[in-house]
Amino acid sequence: MAQKLFIGGLAFSTSNERLREVFTQAGAVESATVVTDRETGRSRGFGFVEMATAEEANAAVKKFNGQELDGRTLKVELANAKPSGGGARSGGGFNRSRW
């Protein structure tokens, strides 16, 4: 099953293709995306890489976290799954009776 990685600390010049090229050193890359600003189209300095397997994703974290790419130090970690609803009001006694 594919595993998504968060890649922080990207140089503004790093492209989707460059990101894919680098991460193939750790295994099969399903997708590589540099997040860009909607209005300017400029890189926001982070992105996501989806590796084919969890083992390859873990290998990529070990290989690239703290390494330099295009003059910047990368932060590579497993992307967190989106939390399921609720937010701050999903418990914590908000439904207590006033009396």
Q: Which CATH superfamily is domain 3-78 in?
A: RRM (RNA recognition motif) domain (3.30.70.330)
Contacts of 53 (CB under 8 A, 6+ apart): 1, 2, 3, 27, 28
3-state helix/strand/coil string of 7-23: EECCCCCCCHHHHHHHH
Measured CA to CA, the distance from residue 99 to residue 39 in angstroms comes to 51
pTM of the complete model: 0.79
pLDDT, one tens digit for every residue, the chain (99 residues): 889 999 999 999 999 999 999 999 999 999 999 999 999 999 999 999 999 999 999 999 999 999 999 999 999 999 986 555 555 555 555 555 566
Query: How far apart, in Å, are the Cα atoms of 60 and each of 15, 25, 36, 55, 99?
Result: 18, 8, 23, 9, 55
